[in-house]
Amino acid sequence: MLSALTLVVAVFLGASYASQIVYPFASGQSVVTVNLMQPALLALEGIGLLFTFAWIFVGATNYLFATRMSKMVRAAREAEKEIGKNLEAGAT
């Protein structure tokens, strides 16, 4: 559940960072409170976007791993129950 929530938050952050980078080019407005075309600011936003993509990747990888692991645990528990039934049947 935590991985899924992390994935959702990371996607929203990624969209936010991407919109902040694209906004000055799309709207033509380069000055609000700060200069949005400032190379240092764009570089910082780009780095933030890269970290966000890494976060999305890690979140997705963890989610897929947890999903596979829960299926394997469920199958192992069912096999354990079956072995227990077989042992009980053999003991009587």
Residue 37 belongs to a domain:
yes
Residue 73: its pLDDT value, please?
A: 95
State the residue range of the domain holding 41.
2-67
Q: What angle do CA 30, 23, 35 make, to 5 degrees?
A: 25
Query: How distant is the alpha carbon of residue 42 from its chain centre?
Result: 24
User: How many domains are contained in the chain?
Assistant: 1
- Looking at the domain assignment, is residue 25 inside a domain? yes
pLDDT of residue 40: 93
In this predicted model, what pLDDT tens digit does every residue of 26-80 receive, in sequence order?
988 887 778 889 999 999 899 988 888 888 888 889 889 999 999 999 999 999 9
pTM of the model: 0.57
As a 3-state breakdown, the chain gives helix, strand, coil percent values, each rounded to 5, of 85, 0, 10
49 lies in a domain?
yes
Is 90 domain-assigned?
no
Residue 42 lies in a domain: yes
| DSSP code at position 36 | T
d(CA 20, CA 54): 18
